[in-house]
A and B are shown apart, each in its own frame.
Chain A
């Protein structure tokens, strides 16, 4: 079983704070690294899919970086808002069509 680790497990921040989470994954057989946001009572939705070492992607206040050689990715949220409260999942695709997910980081943004 592939090991995809996310940290921290949960995080509470104040509105306006910037924050970041980590996803670590195997550094061999890399195809892609995905980030998803999963809000309560909704389905997970893709934020980013990254395939190249050194990739940096941005969507509004959220950005992500990728280091495939050392096997980690960071997700950054700038100026957190209450609507950013969700569980953030990363998923590793390595050598096949399978997606293996980490356990997620649950973010709560307090107004």
Chain B
């Protein structure tokens, strides 16, 4: 059974804190993605990585950074959390290519107070 595991299901952090969201996959897939989901806005891409140490900005990278030191792990970092980063964060991964589906983690609901 394939697995995409996000480190926390629910998280509450204070404004200004540095926050790490971790995602680990056991599928050996090259591509990994971080999305956030907000009501009425759908899934918006924050960052993605197509290989170890490689990353590309998505549509809303401001206030975030990422790290991919190992193929199986992709971390999303909020350098200084703000209340407008309260959201559901979803990690996904895909094998490279045009006909491959994405597999999602269970999501992390982050609240910044």
Contact = CB atoms under 8 A, between A and B. Distances in A.
A74 to B, nearest CB: 19
Interface string A79-92: 00000000001010
Interface residues of B, number: 30
B58 interface: yes
A59 interface: no
A103 B41 contact: yes
B104 interface: yes
B76 interface: no
Contacts of A97: 30-31, 48, 50, 94, 96
Contact of A102 (B4, B35, B42): B42
A34 B104 contact: no
A28 B91 CA distance: 27
A1 B94 CA distance: 21
Contacts, number: 60
B106 to A, nearest CB: 5
B45 A43 contact: no
Interface centre among A1, A43, A93, A102 (most CB of B within 10 A): A43
Given A97-B94, A99-B45, A103-B41, A46 B101 contact: yes
A104 B22 CA distance: 26
28 contacts: A32-B98, A32-B99, A42-B106, A43-B104, A43-B105, A43-B107, A44-B43, A44-B90, A44-B104, A46-B101, A46-B102, A49-B99, A49-B101, A51-B98, A91-B43, A91-B102, A93-B98, A97-B48, A97-B94, A98-B45, A98-B58, A99-B94, A100-B59, A101-B35, A101-B42, A101-B44, A101-B45, A103-B40
10 tightest Cβ-Cβ pairs between the two chains A and B: A103-B42, A46-B101, A31-B98, A43-B104, A101-B43, A32-B98, A44-B104, A51-B99, A97-B31, A49-B101
